[in-house]
Structure formats: structure tokens, C-alpha cells
Structure 1
Amino acid sequence: MSNSTSDLDEPIHVVPYDPAWAGLGRALAERLAAGLRGLPGAVGLPGAVGVEHIGSTSVPGLAAKPVLDVQVGCAPGDVDMVVAHVRALGFEDLGESGVPGRRYLRRRAEQPANVHVVALGGGLWTDNLLLRDHLRAHPEAAACYARAKREAAAATGRLLAYSAHKAATVAELLAEARETGA
């Protein structure tokens, strides 16, 4: 497992929405879910694991980094088993990478993708789905986020600075999502 900032930080760019992202995200989520169903232990039980396409590539029409984000929710005791499964699919484990309660894995070969392993039903799980669903349901919020993403990418060009640059917008949109319920 790698967890240094230099390992995590990478060049980024934001591109217009690609309609193929929906199918690619769904396929990756299904591939992860199918493999996890076959594992022994709690993750093999129905309902004990969740897999969702999240992030900007999951929001129709939203500009994004051309990197899929998939969230895997599981019981805290199953995290290492889930991470081992995701690593076997060619993903690099970068540990928590500055987000307590999340294991971050990435793959840059094939279709670039990130996998976020979090507690199923926990705060990170809920917030990621709430923000995604809010952006899907509110085009004006998605447009605001797209502007913030383009500005952050143009101003920084690297993942960590990009994330920091748009953090206030993400917090505002998440607050809106909590108020409206989606």
C-alpha cells in the first residue's frame, strides 16, 4: 500500500461529459459487485455490500476528469477483504489518502478509475450518494459544479490542489443536497 502525497498527486484535466461514462461506470460497478458476492464472510451475504457509480462521471451532462469513481460500501471488518479483491482487479491501494474512513484505490490502465471503499450506510457513503443524486436532479447545481471544476483544473492542473480549490463549492452543494433531500 502506498500513501504518500507524491503518490496520490497527479496531473488532471476536466473534459466535457462523455455519454459512455454511464455504461462504463455501471459495468465497473457490476464487475466489482459480482466478484464481491463470491467472497467468503460477511460480504457474501445479500445486502452486506453496496457498489455505486459516484462522482462527476455518474452525472449526465457534467464535465469531469475522465476517471470513473465507484464506491464500495461494506462492514468495517470486511474492508481488507474488499480491498484485496479490488487490488486483484489491477487497482493500486493508496490507503486513506487524507480521508479518514475511506480506502482509496486507483487504476490508470484501461479506463482510468478510482474505487472508494467506505462503511456501508456511513457518512461518506451517504454524502457521496446524496451529492450525486442532487447534481442529477438539479441542473443549476451541476452547472455551478462544472464551473468550479473547470476553474480549479485551469488554476491548478494537479489533483490535490484541484480538490482543495473546489472544496468550498462541494461543501455548499452538499449542504444544499441535505436541505433538499437530494
Structure 2
Amino acid sequence: MSKRDTPSPSELVSAAQALDAELLRFEALAGQLQDAPLTSEKHLERASRTLKELADLDDALRVRVGALVQAITGVRTRQQTQADAVNARAQELQRRTEVFKDLLTRYGGLGQSAADLNGRMQQFSALRQQESRTAEEDAQLTAVFNSLQERMAEVADEAATLAGAADADHFSDIARQADSLRQQLLSARNKLGLLHQSLSSKSE
């Protein structure tokens, strides 16, 4: 990485580095003052200048400390802002997870309903394949057909409602699966109706 690509130090780092540099200068001058001889006018003048520099540096250190405190406050504010955002996202994640679980449970219920319908369709098919049926068996076949048609329409409506809810909550996978199940149910219901009409015509 070239010097041009090196990112600029943060406000906190810059403030800390500036304070550290001033502190090193202060310590160096303080050491010089402590070790300086005071045995001539020249020595006294030099010590006075050093003392003046130390006083100026002391003021500068206060400014640097203030800048560092301000930078730390800024970091704390940024951290708190990010923490609040993370907390809000965590709550959103929890809410979305609960919504997803609810949609998944409802889809599982639809799957169970579809499986039950499949069993009832097999029962209908078995009754339909009988070559000769009594009037009672014909009535039973009609009752099974009507019940199947009604239940398939109900489950298809439930699938449509679920697809709409999943789409509204932006869970497109569940929305697609529920809509696909709805279409399959309606297609099977239509085929069942046509088959029953065909059988009714033949029986007449």
C-alpha cells in the first residue's frame, strides 16, 4: 500500500498523537529545567525561557486534552448510534423470524390439508372404479365428490391468503410455494369436476 492509499488517522488517533507529542515536549523541557545549572546570568535567562516555554506548553496540553476528550465523546456517540442501530436490527430480526415461523407453520398446515385431500381423492377413485354401484353407493360417490370439491376450494383459498401474507411480508419463497399449491389444487379440482361430469353422462 502506497502512502497515497494509506487512510487518514481518525479524529481520536490524531488527538491522542498530538497530545502525546506535546507531552513528550513538556517532559523533555521539564527535564532540561531540572538539570539546568543556575550559576550565571546566562543560565538564569535560559532557565527563564525554558520556564516560559513550559507554561505555554502547559496551556497547549490543556487544549490537547480537551480535544482528546471531545474526540472520545465523539467516539462514544458514534458507538452508541451504532449500538442503537444494531439493537433495532436485532429486534427486526426477531420479528421477521417470528413472522417466518408463523408463515412456515401455516404452509405446513396447508401441506397436511393437501395430503388429506389426496387420501380422500383415492377413496373417491376407488368408489368411481366400481363397475356396478348401488343407488346408495352412487349417493356416497356424489357426497364424496361434493365434499372434495368444497374442501379443495377452501384449501385453495387458504393457500391464496397465505401467498398474499407471505408476499406482503416479502417472503417470496413461501409466497411462490403457496401460490403453486393453490394452482395445483384448482387444477385438480377442475379435473375432478370434468371427470365427474363424464361419469355422470355415461351413467345416464
Higher strand share: 1
TM-score exceeds 0.5 = no
TM-score computed with the length of structure 2 as normaliser: 0.18
TM-score computed with the length of structure 1 as normaliser: 0.20
The one of the two structures with greater contact order (alpha-carbon pairs below 8 A, sep at least 6) is 1
Select the structure of larger CA radius of gyration: 2
